[in-house]
Amino acid sequence: MKKKLIAALFASALAFIAATSVTAAASKSDQPKLPTYTAKWPSPDHFSVHSQDKEEVIAILKEHAKTHHDGLVLTDEKAEAMVKTIEPRK
């Protein structure tokens, strides 16, 4: 009796785990893949930023310039020119 109960519980747990992994895999593939935006500050900083929000990358670059380069004011145009787009793999 105990063996049948343990076997039934084990089978239920295994079925639950299998169903959960299939659902998780399906939900991942349904999401659209967004590009990533990246920017690197020229040497000697070795500062870089990555995000899926281009405006966030620009804002971080401008803040970095102001706080780490003696109050340097980086224009939107110059910051945007530093940003590169990385397209997602298909």
pLDDT in tens, 19-78: 666 555 555 566 678 899 999 988 788 899 999 999 999 999 999 999 998 899 999 999
27: which 2 tokens? Answer: 């939900």
- Which tops the pLDDT comparison, 85 or 23? 85
Longest dimension (CA), the chain: 77
Locate tokens 């945007």: which residue? 80
30: which 2 tokens? Answer: 């349904």
Cβ atoms within 10 Å of 63's Cβ, excluding its own: 12
pLDDT at position 61 is: 94
Could you tell me the pTM of the whole model? 0.63
d(CA 24, CA 44): 43
Q: At residue 1, does pLDDT exceed 90?
A: no
DSSP E strands, 1-90: 36-40, 48-51, 84-86
